[in-house]
Structure 1
């Protein structure tokens, strides 16, 4: 690749997107078709897929094998783990996450979509919108994924009928709007045959919209967080204690949002101690400013007590600290989450003890109604929780920051991830039952 081509590639935007859908809806085949038809796979990769396909008795290359890399996935014919793939076209660079469709692995869909700017939700044209479709749409809405694509797949198996596509698109779009998704782009495709994936379909002349790749290349991407609330979760305190730098004390981490400048007043949370930035090191070199996603080391004018898990923020823009966290969560573990459950809450680089004080509601996916005070959440449930932490936490609203407005709950006994939470997100949880009181015996 020439220098000019490398420069042009570096100047293209990056889109992170995830695929989701029910089992056998064709997610891995769609991803494989995207890679194949956009000429984003190497010859030896394609040859390996052809050999693997032939050994399974397939007449042609099974493009799903480009992403289903685990042996268990190939044997069962399903996706189990999140498969990440990187590719580029002249217009844009892509990081895609091919997520599982089986209800048992919904937790992996949460992982794949948590950093996505777009979600492609597949629907089998023969089956229409099913419960897992609604669950994936609800998760994408909760995670505030900005863009949604409905890919109605296997149109070749319903004779490419426009009426089938229109009915599915209308039902899904209405459901997505109820969830608060502002815009849905519906595209009829056949991932197996290649219709409307990279090339326009000759079998659906009634459709005049973009192909999947055309939409991915042109959808607006606004993931510049440099103007958001500045946040630096401290990952490591650096004290080399060398003859050259005997008094060096730096606070290292990846900037979660916003930007920091030398001379800027900052506050360390949750302690509330204030200081001023005396220096910023980036890749071992001093700089005047740093911004979102850069991994830096901040040096402060004052020698104050800071450790892993603390949050450095501009003094003029410090979030409030609290021990009472209310959030909407997606429960991802087989073990139920119950009222009174003792957990660990991980927020940024900080982990604290916590107790589930209440579960005000659980979302019913069919009609988006709320089941009040269910008492517990089981695997794949979406619900509202109230949590009391042993130490104050500086949390943002998830609407303001996907990084510092999110957390996970962990089983303290074995380290299992139980729940993914979004602070402040709500499906309009019902008012508490009159006369109901918290169990004070659980208070920290």
Structure 2
């Protein structure tokens, strides 16, 4: 297996997609990697060399830098690290977003922290990015945090990476060092399902191969500069799901008007389209699409709209209005990937609030496996420690609605909230609906019974079941939810 990956990695070229004309939407990108690999300095250099730093900002930067370095340059990291704690400690804590542009394209870049305890902030930055710049210190190569950030970025659906082998001046511009690190990363990328990798040797501090070429000191490198690679990158592919509108608010200014407000999370809609309201299953047609200043002929993903239907239906906040011919998955149990974000981690069988869009539900989380960042293998796990990346089973008290994350980021992502502290304990991505619904299937000798509550309580009180209580799972559900559960098992 390892030999096969090594062979494939050796053949994996630097990817430079065909140039596309300037898009109306800026390319969104993140910088990630381990501590002190130079993420803030790199973005500061990008802003400086693309003339995105105004004169008053430049004056402030020179003043705040104090004693300048041997090159007579200011501390570029201060352009990103604005918090007092960041400047005092010389680290990045929060995500900082900056806008810059080249002659061919515009960009929004997120500088994310490298410290392990701020993994949640890195995941936040990755959730909206089209591309990831993964920095590696040329002196140290790939570290565990490098692998963690690359894995999280890939789980978040990022499939374009720029490997920035930074501080290359400190290894004497040694080509062998670059070849070794880029080879190691391409091996890792293949295990993550990432095939678009552009590796660039650079010095962010000196500006070599960032905006301007470093050919004078690296004549052996004939690839693009960082900006050229970003100009050639593609926007994240469109979502493959149909129309999705998570309902944020029901608008009823008068008896003659009832509209359902939210931001379109996928697909498109126009008057006359048939839609279904989930989870109730009621069907209607779109009568009108209203925005703050006009009536629209259509709406697409990202539009904030008020949807008016052609008939009276029961819709409330947390429901989802979707295409009649392209519906999300609905069920009581789903598989997901999680990134644990709190010191207590994720414990087996623990119940949390799950929030996805405007919908909040009770869920039981059962860890299945955890990713070993050193070997790249998924090892069985009953619990997930802080910052661990794991696979879990989600069991809901009532029907949940999701698209797989790869198909729709908005309707496939969620956070877990501790019901006691209201802290966000994990971020997750749904991978699939569980066909066996909590492990109840025809092959494991288990069955599901739908019984009246009073009868179930009497049975559970019997001596036989009392002695085997740990083997029995009970769940109170409505009649409709019970039908969905049984239908899912039959399917």
Provide TM-score, normalisation by structure 1: 0.91
Aligned counterpart in structure 2 of residue 344 of structure 1, from 346, 353, 365: 353
Matched, 1:414 2:421: yes
Matched, 1:34 2:46: yes
> Structure 2: any 5+ residue segments left out of the alignment?
1-20, 434-438, 447-469, 477-491
- Whether contact under 8 Å (2:285, 2:310) holds in the other structure is yes
| Alignment partners' CA distance in 2, 1:411 and 1:212 | 41
Structure 1 residue 10: Cα displacement: 8.7
- Whether contact under 8 Å (1:355, 1:442) holds in the other structure is no
1:399-422 alpha-carbon deviations (Å, 9 max, x no partner) = 211111111111111221111111
SS in 1 for 2:42: helix
1:378-408 alpha-carbon deviations (Å, 9 max, x no partner) = 1110111111112211111112111111111
Structure 1 residue 335: Cα displacement: 1.9
The equivalent of 2:234 in structure 1 is: 220
| Alignment partners' CA distance in 2, 1:361 and 1:228 | 29
Structure 1 residue 371: Cα displacement: 1.4
Q: Which runs of 4+ in 1 moved over 6 A?
A: 55-58, 434-438
Matched, 1:306 2:315: yes
The equivalent of 2:120 in structure 1 is: 107
| Alignment partners' CA distance in 2, 1:158 and 1:221 | 34
SS in 2 for 1:91: coil
Matched, 1:206 2:238: no
| Alignment partners' CA distance in 2, 1:280 and 1:117 | 29
The equivalent of 1:65 in structure 2 is: 78
1:75-120 alpha-carbon deviations (Å, 9 max, x no partner) = 0000000011112223112111100001111111100001100000
SS in 2 for 1:239: strand
- Change beyond 3 A, Cα 1:156–1:10: closer
Aligned counterpart in structure 2 of residue 379 of structure 1, from 386, 390, 393: 386
Aligned counterpart in structure 2 of residue 250 of structure 1, from 259, 263, 286: 259
The equivalent of 2:65 in structure 1 is: 53
Query: How many residues of Structure 1 are paired with residues of Structure 2 in the alignment?
Result: 423
Structure 1 residue 425: Cα displacement: 6.9
- Change beyond 3 A, Cα 1:10–1:189: closer
Structure 1 residue 131: Cα displacement: 0.4
- Whether contact under 8 Å (1:187, 1:211) holds in the other structure is yes
Alignment of 1:243-392 (within 5 A): 246-356=255-365, 358-372=366-380, 374-392=381-399
Structure 1 residue 435: Cα displacement: 7.1
Provide TM-score, normalisation by structure 2: 0.83
Structure showing greater radius of gyration is 2
SS in 1 for 2:229: helix
The equivalent of 1:178 in structure 2 is: 191
| Alignment partners' CA distance in 2, 1:124 and 1:57 | 19
- Change beyond 3 A, Cα 1:40–1:274: same
| Alignment partners' CA distance in 1, 2:84 and 2:338 | 32
